[in-house]
Amino acid sequence: MMTLILGGVRSGKTRLAEKIATETGLPVVYLATANAGDIEMSYRINKHKERRDSNWLTIEEEINLASAIQEYSVKGNAVIVDCLTLWMTNLLLQLTDRDIKSQQARLIETLRTLESPVFIVSNETNLGIIPIDALSRRFCDEIGVLHQQLGQIADEVIFMVAGIPHLIKSSP
């Protein structure tokens, strides 16, 4: 089962993913994609780490997300991916166009074959104005298309607003 949890910054996405992953009663594997490139981001990462259950396994993976999901999404684990937008940023800043497409395709293929619940957290960035620079516009295009692809294969899609979950899609 895959759940895609979208929302704005500080909308409660990660807390919801953590809550429902815990409610599965399974051991939780937390796949963190953030790159602590500056002091402020290091602070954010540390705040997330402090909040996590000490029994959870945390794996930091900035690029090869599909491989990490495949490795840790085995029967008996619940997996949280936090977050897809930071992963996309890493791809855009570190890889060639061909490798970006390859990573995205591998992610979709991996998520189609899950044996365990996976909760994917991502920022819905495309509700505002069109960004002024080319890289930011490309980011919005790439993450928007990826969200659409994930929405099609997800069992559930939840949109967070002001800490309140809104169910967008639910499989019977």
Instruction: Answer whether residue 128 shows pLDDT above 90.
Output: no
Which residue among 12, 27, 48, 106 is the active-site one?
Answer: 48
- 158-169: pLDDT as tens digits: 999 999 999 999
Residue 52 has what pLDDT?
A: 75
Contact 155, 171 (CB under 8 A): yes
What is the domain partition of the chain in residue ranges?
Answer: 2-170
Kindly state which CATH superfamily the domain 2-170 is placed in: P-loop containing nucleotide triphosphate hydrolases (3.40.50.300)
48 is catalytic: yes
List residues bridging with 166 in a β-sheet.
159
Residue among 66, 67, 68 nearest 57 (CA): 68
0.75 surpassed by pTM: yes
- 82-101: pLDDT as tens digits: 999 999 999 999 999 999 99
- Cα separations (Å) of 89 from 5, 46, 148, 156? 18, 20, 17, 24
Instruction: Answer whether residue 153 shows pLDDT above 80.
Output: yes
